[in-house]
Amino acid sequence: MAGFKLSAGVGLLGLAARSLAVPAPIYSEPTTTFSVPKITAVVEPVTDVTSHGTYTGPSPLTTGALSTSVLAPSVPALPPGPDAYKYPSDGQLHAPQPAPYTPAGGVGTNGSAPVYRVLSDFDYQSIALALHQEWIELDLFHWGLATFSVEDFEEAGLTAEDRHLIEFMADQEVGHATLLSNILGPSAPNQCTYNYPATNVHEFIDFCQKLTRYGESGVYGFLNHLNAHDVGQLLLQSITTEARQQMIFRQFEGLFPMPEWFEVGIPQSWAWSLLAPYISSCPENNTRLIWQNYPALNILNQPNPFRINGSYVWNETTDGGYANTASYQDIDESDDCTKSTDVGASCAPGITRNRSMPLSYPGRQVFLEWDEPGKPIGPNNSYVTDTQAGAPKFAAWVSQLNVTYSPLENIQGNSAYTVQPDISSFDGNPAINGTIFLVLTDEDLYVTPYNLTQLNPHVYAVGMYQSG
């Protein structure tokens, strides 16, 4: 059969009109006769941590957060900058274009080569916090796979392919830790040893989904405040992977994978408060962090996602504050949603699950207890919990785009209750949904996602709430 060539613009229908013959398809077979140079970069040396548990070593020689002279008790609240309303935002172009198809403006768009290094104390301390988060995730994922047997995972409904995904997520953390270590240089924090509030696969998965939530949200909170925007670009490309990890752990837990319209960002001190209690010890002379460690907020009736009626609970957490990890102990089989096969009741691992009984709801009484400041915590017990706030008066529900306050009721010493508010970010989107943050404050200060750190001087205690 004579060969032919289709000219540009000649369609298959035109070809069919001229001939009924159809050319035989040409298949491409794989070949190994060609070779290309392999391009790679060396990853940060990683060793599996062999010790886990609470810190039992000597008293630390250095305590408290890293500090220099402090200029003021808080950063003053100021009005918007003088140019905040200058740009007309009318869809027209208002300045010459620096290049074809390129609008004027932007940061880092003048052609200067990026330099991926921190440019301020704020940058360094933020990236160091993120690196601690990557290190603990790397160890946590490996720890769970090593601690619990194949039978344990399969009893929880997680197959060999699911376990391989957890292993792959650990591999992702090697890359993230290498990236951030290279950005910080020789003084970057090293791997530590850790202590996890989980005694079975279900609790391991719940802690993973909470840990990845505050890891993700902790970066969202500072990402756009970095002086080094080029570093922020690299961090953005790693934290989006973290967001996918958090959603996967929700699916492993039988939770609806993404019950919110917007993800939430939190200040670095909140993220460090939630992370540090699970770090037992770090190598000598490991770089210290500046961030505050707030006292823990324990939610006495924290919703339990392993129950069919997840809101009907009391004291069902494993760690007594901070992450408020769900306990999978003493659940009757009739109320164990991991064993149910009924639609609306089952919380077995799955792509998505709808619950007939919500984990929480507007109007729910939420009972709280909180610690006093002054508790040694974190690596080598070398940090100390602290607060600048007065006595707690409000619960701040921090979720999506909202910070909403509800008053504390029946305050007795370090306990009280509050009522879950009924709010939406936009119509049809309940603002309080998913794995969110609940903090106690002495004032109902108006803050928004970009200036949430203004709330820090008023925060007394920090915790996580499983609202959906």
* DSSP per-residue codes, 423-445: -EEETTEESS-SEEEEEEESS--
What pairing do the DSSP bridges indicate for beta strands 365-370 and 376-377? unpaired
SS3 label, residue 249: helix
Distance CA 12, CA 251 (A): 45
Distance CA 360, CA 366 (A): 9
User: For residue 397, what are the contacts with CB-CB under 8 A and spacing of at least 6?
Assistant: 403, 404, 405, 406, 420, 421, 423, 431, 432, 436, 438, 465
User: For residue 407, what are the contacts with CB-CB under 8 A and spacing of at least 6?
Assistant: 393, 394, 395, 418
Report yes or no: 188 and 128 within 8 Å, Cβ to Cβ.
yes
Its pTM stands at: 0.90
Q: What are phi and psi of 280, to 5 degrees?
A: -80, -55
Distance CA 281, CA 231 (A): 28
Report yes or no: 421 and 444 within 8 Å, Cβ to Cβ.
no
pLDDT at 9: 37
Report yes or no: 311 and 359 within 8 Å, Cβ to Cβ.
yes
Strand ranges (E), 294-381 = 297-299, 365-370, 376-377
**Residue reference for tokens 């990402």:** 223
pLDDT at 449: 97
Task: Using the Cα atoms of residue 456, residue 462, residue 467 and residue 468 in order, give the sign of their dihedral.
Answer: positive
CB count in 10 Å sphere of residue 16: 11
pLDDT at 35: 63
Backbone φ/ψ region at 179: left (φ over 0), alpha (ψ -120 to 50), beta:
alpha
pLDDT at 70: 82
Buried residues in 240-254 as b, exposed as e (16+ CB within 10 A): eebbebbbbbbbbbb
Alpha-carbon distance values, 168 to 44, 163, 236, 327 (Å)? 16, 9, 20, 26
pLDDT at 23: 60
pLDDT at 54: 82
Strand ranges (E), 333-414 = 365-370, 376-377, 383-384, 394-399, 402-407, 409-412
How many secondary structure helices (H) and strands (E) does the chain include? 7, 14
Distance CA 146, CA 141 (A): 9
Angle at 136 between CA 133 and CA 141, to 5 degrees: 125
Residue 107 in tokens: 């940061």
Tell me what percent of the chain is helix, strand and coil, each rounded to the nearest 5: 30, 15, 55
Provide block-wise average pLDDT over 10 residues at a time, the chain (468 residues).
37 40 60 63 74 81 80 83 88 91 92 95 98 98 98 98 98 97 96 96 98 98 97 97 97 96 97 97 94 98 96 92 94 94 94 94 98 97 97 98 97 98 94 97 97 98 97
User: For residue 70, what are the contacts with CB-CB under 8 A and spacing of at least 6?
Assistant: none
Q: What are phi and psi of 8, to 5 degrees?
A: -60, 135
Tens of pLDDT, residue by residue over 412-450, are: 999 999 999 999 999 999 999 999 999 999 999 999 999
Task: Using the Cα atoms of residue 32, residue 35, residue 40 and residue 43 in order, give the sign of their dihedral.
Answer: positive
User: For residue 304, what are the contacts with CB-CB under 8 A and spacing of at least 6?
Assistant: 310, 313, 316, 326, 327, 331, 359, 466
DSSP state of 30: P
pLDDT at 58: 82
Report yes or no: 383 and 418 within 8 Å, Cβ to Cβ.
no
Q: Which residue type sits at 181?
A: S
Residue whose C-alpha is closest to residue 287's, from 376, 428, 181: 181
